[in-house]
Structure formats: structure tokens, C-alpha cells
Amino acid sequence: MSNIVLIGMMGCGKSTIGQLLAETLHLDFVDTDTLIEEEQGLTIPEIFAQYGEDYFRNYEVAVANKLSQREGLVIACGGGLPLRDDAIAPLKETGKILFLNRDCNEIYDSVSMAGRPLGQGGRRAFLERFAQREPIYRNCAHYEIAGVSTVEDAMKEILEVLA
């Protein structure tokens, strides 16, 4: 069973939807941020503050390589993981990549940016970051899931594309 890999902007619902999807399909759930935090014994903001973004991105590459050797997982990726081709490519080889494309104004209005070092620059910076990333997300995804305003809609669309 190939993995199901969720990508998209921070706060789009990868972890919430991923957990539910894993339960529904009887698969194991892994969140790359949580894995990194557990392995490092530090929170994401602490890792960024102490070691910097490059260190974190290299760690994401290592985690992606490790997870791509496993099967039957639902994997919620940190929002910036697909920026590195050497992180997303191994996951794409052994999994179906789903881009959860939730409206970014809606994300910004409803999701806390606390604990998200790259979400600290205000709405405009958040929207600009998304504009830079959207083609990257789209380019590496097998499927784009557009109806992600509610978890129920997202689940329905995901289960349809996977069927």
C-alpha cells in the first residue's frame, strides 16, 4: 500500500485531515513536524531559533527519505517540505501526493500562527509566501484538493480521488 502524503500551506489542515484519513483507512499517521520535534527534543520555533531554517530543511530531507522507505502511512508534511526537491521526490516515489489548497485568507483568519516561525510576518507576507509556493505545491502533487473549507468536504474529495 503506497503512502498518502499531504502537502500545502501551514494551517491548511494537513494534520487534522491526515489523522482522520489515517483512522478512516486504517493506516498509521505521521506528522513530519512532530517527528522532528520528538527526535530533536525541541519545538519547531526552538529549532529555527537555535539552528536556523537550513538545518530544519536538511532535517526534513532526512525524515522524508526515512518515511519513503515505509508503507501504509498517511504523512502530513511541514508546509515548506516540498520546497526542497530532495525532500519531496522520495515521498513522491512511494506515495500519492495530495495538495490541500485551502484559501489563504481563510487560513490566516482562523488558524493561530503561534509556533509557526514563518507565519509571523503578517497577512501580506503570508499571502506572498503562498503565491511563491503554490506552483511548487501544484507541480509536485498528484492531486489538488480544492474543497478544504471544512474537514468533511476535504475528506469527501480526498476519498473520491483515492478511490
Residues numbered 71-100 forming contacts with ligand S3P, rule: CB under 6 A: 78-80
Q: 4, 10, 30, 87: which one contacts ligand S3P (CB under 6 A)?
A: 10
Which residues between 107 and 126 bind ligand S3P (CB under 6 A)?
116-118
Shortest distance, CB of residue 161 to ligand S3P, whole angstroms? 21
Residue in the structure block whose three cell numbers are 519547531 = 44
- Count the alpha carbons within 13 Å of 127 in the hemisphere toward its beta carbon: 8
For ligand S3P, the closer CB: 106 or 160:
106
Phi-psi category of 103—alpha, beta or left, where left has phi over 0 and alpha has psi -120 to 50? beta
Residue 117 burial (CB count, 10 A): 17
- For ligand S3P (CB under 6 A), the number of binding residues is 10
Q: How many helices (H) and strands (E) does the chain have?
A: 8, 5
| Interacting residues with ligand S3P (CB under 6 A) | 10-11, 33, 44, 78-80, 116-118
